[in-house]
A and B are shown apart, each in its own frame.
Chain A
């Protein structure tokens, strides 16, 4: 269906791709794997016409040779891309998003609504077609993107990290849908960092590394360890190396903490020095909401927060910082780093008041930023480049460095490894290990169960805003966590 041969792409100063090939057959799920920066995004952009390859590439879609095609022309040949960040029109309705540009010059709104319902029914999604897309959940947006692609009669579907921001349950539903589409004969190119998913789904695997083609392998020839080795070019024997640290006294304690507007309901838990407390739960279970209460972003409506056993009032972020809390938020781009500012200024933001007497002492700022970014292994030309130009993994390290600069005692990490590559992920895990060794307490929110299971000393499972249970590392298993997260009747 889709065939790319001898694809190269050179940007000024960078060879993003060289000698890459990819054959995608009808009724096949083909995984495209590689670390961030391996060239997956560039390859997708070339396949979808957003970027033109260097001369010499040979691209065929359904047997037709394609040269200098626009995104529109490629779409008309039946190739559709579902991007990691849904590219939908937030203010427009579901129906309009599904069928944009599919009508003639004049639009029939009634016809559109009917066509939209039919498309959604085909993938088993139930959505009000008149709702503006900004009101939808992330999982619903992903479904909408897929329905839109199918509405365009896509024969080739490129899914770019479709489950990166979905809960396990939503992700499972999406994977079921992918299998259904494969059975219908759609050719699917699947890009993900979640190896479990492609090991379950994919028929073949193509691996890129540093812009080069490493190889294409059938399912029978690979397993998890082999794939990681191919992607990393080195053996990562243990993905989640838990550092065992003797636990100290309790630092943070919550008693029946509630925040009614966001549904945080009666949560009591504690975390000790040197401990990594995992927070598990489906999307909407209240994990981020709980973190926001702790960090003073949405102050508790009732209940108590204790630091070192003493009740404290946390009404603002300033209070939380003063109590030694730090929060690295989920959405890197929106809340994690200021993309336009250089690394150094990003890191010094929360401690400006400490650095500044009457005016800002820039040498101190620079020294601190240099120390922290070296310690966390931020890969950048210097601490003066804009944070927005870094890769996802490096942006996350900058976000982390910023909060470490506040010298916190409790660090809350919200999806710290979402959508970043295997190498950067391992580094973030290594840093977490070092931090707990120094006596920091970490609350880790993650939708990736293996990560929680590998790293956490205990896992607190939330369900619909309340605490469903706490599992020790010994008790915790995939099944045990899911059981608590899903169970409907128990307390």
Chain B
């Protein structure tokens, strides 16, 4: 039991922090504990959660992708334009996901084949995609979307439940596969040590491209679940999205150096960082504090990580 707790100390700490956060409104706040609060919290955080799942894979593989905010808005715009062109929604979904895979794989190729450090390569694609969007749309919002676009034409209540169910199923399957399949573990191996991975017959370059492609797909799905909530698509959406996602992954216990991390930790990171704003609103705390607290949590997580690493290095 103690060893179980030690092995999952990050998860335990996050659960306590989340419990404490959700208990705060008990003290003199009305209206927080309602189904609608939790449902809108969940719906708001779905896109971050899905992208963070993909990001967990990329960081475990020893890489990082800071272009996903741009990929996110490109996915949304592509979906909107395709829907406007009259393509049926199922094909819009498939095309958007395919585009996500291509954008992700492109990042992967820049890193694995052209040997550009991930942070530089994805900084370049971040700027490129963002400016491409500006050029292509002139900064105008995409409006007059077909009726079947928003909530896939479903009543919003039904659609929200469907989105939650779909995201839960996708995330659950992803988390299971990352832990329990040989394909999933290969990313951990590559993130630990390229050379060692090569020597047991893995192809690190291929793994890196695959990780970025999976993140591209995850970001595209996140974009679909996000932009179909509204009747119009803002072309400046997704600014700072990558920071939210990376922060949640790191707070969730994934080592930024690769090789260690779990989607469950990421889920807890998303819940913790994503709920602070709402709880603070109910507590009538100045919303300016939200970002500061999020930053502080990130700092604590990183410091805890370093301290932990030192301890295990000594032991």
Contact = CB atoms under 8 A, between A and B. Distances in A.
B312 interface: yes
A100 B200 contact: yes
B201 A72 contact: yes
Contact of B189 (A72, A83, A92, A104): A92
B259 A101 contact: no
A105 B188 CA distance: 15
Interface in B251-273: 255, 258-260
A302 interface: no
Interface residues of A, number: 29
A91 B192 contact: yes
Contact of B182 (A70, A91, A105, A135): A105
Most buried by A among B193, B199, B258, B259: B199
Given A106-B181, A261-B314, A92 B259 contact: yes
Interface string B169-190: 0000000000011110100110
Contacts of B188: 89, 91-92
Contact of A90 (B7, B180, B202, B259): B259
Interface in B182-217: 182-183, 185, 188-189, 191-193, 195-202
Given A135-B312, A135-B315, A89 B181 contact: no
Contacts of A90: 192-193, 259
A71 B199 contact: yes
Given A72-B201, A134-B312, A261-B314, A89 B180 contact: no
A150 B200 CA distance: 14
Nearest to B177: A106
Interface in A94-114: 96, 100-101, 103-107, 109
A92 B199 contact: no
B206 to A, nearest CB: 13
Interface string A76-99: 000001010001111110001000
Contacts of A87: 193, 195-196, 199
B192 A92 contact: yes
Contacts of B314: 261-262
A89 B182 contact: no
Contacts of A50: 198-199
Contacts of B196: 87-89
Contacts of B183: 105
Given A71-B201, A135-B312, A104 B255 contact: no
Contacts of A105: 181-183
A48 to B, nearest CB: 8
B232 to A, nearest CB: 44
A96 B182 contact: no
Given A89-B196, A91-B260, A106-B180, A101 B255 contact: no
A387 to B, nearest CB: 20
A75 interface: yes
Contact of A89 (B189, B198, B315): B189
Q: Is the interface of B mostly helix, strand, loop or mixed?
A: helix
B199 A81 contact: yes
Given A100-B189, A107-B181, A135-B312, A89 B259 contact: yes
A81 B315 CA distance: 28
Contacts of B3: 130
A89 B192 contact: yes
Size band of the B side of the interface? Answer: 20 to 34
Contact of B185 (A48, A71, A83, A107): A107
A101 B201 contact: yes
A260 to B, nearest CB: 12
Contact of A100 (B181, B185, B255, B259): B185
Contacts of A100: 185, 189, 200
A468 to B, nearest CB: 23
Most chain A CB within a 10 A radius of its CB, from B7, B192, B195, B255: B192
A130 B7 CA distance: 10
Given A89-B193, A105-B181, A105-B182, A71 B260 contact: no
Q: For A72, A91, A106, which residue has the most chain B Cβ atoms within 10 angstroms?
A: A91
B259 A107 contact: no
Given A90-B192, A92-B189, A135-B312, A75 B201 contact: yes
Contacts of A96: 185
Nearest to B3: A130
A106 B179 CA distance: 9
Contacts of B258: 91
Interface in A210-224: none
A261 B199 CA distance: 37
Interface string B118-161: 00000000000000000000000000000000000000000000
Contacts of A91: 188, 191-192, 255, 258-260
A134 B257 CA distance: 14
Interface string A437-473: 0000000000000000000000000000000000000
B107 to A, nearest CB: 24
Contacts of B193: 87-90
Nearest to A91: B259
Interface in A239-294: 261-262
A48 B195 CA distance: 14
A105 B191 CA distance: 19
B311 to A, nearest CB: 10
A109 B192 CA distance: 20
Nearest to B260: A91
Contacts of B182: 101, 103-107
Contacts of B189: 89, 92, 100
A109 B185 CA distance: 12
A409 B283 CA distance: 66
Contacts of B191: 91
Given A50-B198, A83-B199, A92-B185, 11 more contacts: A89-B188, A89-B192, A90-B259, A91-B188, A92-B189, A100-B185, A101-B182, A103-B182, A105-B183, A106-B180, A135-B312
Would you list the 6 A-B pairs with minimal beta carbon distance, nearest first? A72-B201, A91-B259, A87-B196, A89-B192, A91-B260, A107-B180
Interface of B: 3, 7, 180-183, 185, 188-189, 191-193, 195-202, 255, 258-260, 312-315
28 contacts: A50-B198, A50-B199, A75-B201, A81-B199, A87-B193, A87-B195, A87-B199, A89-B188, A89-B196, A89-B197, A90-B192, A90-B259, A91-B191, A91-B192, A91-B260, A92-B192, A100-B185, A101-B200, A101-B201, A101-B202, A106-B180, A107-B180, A109-B180, A130-B7, A132-B312, A134-B312, A134-B313, A135-B315
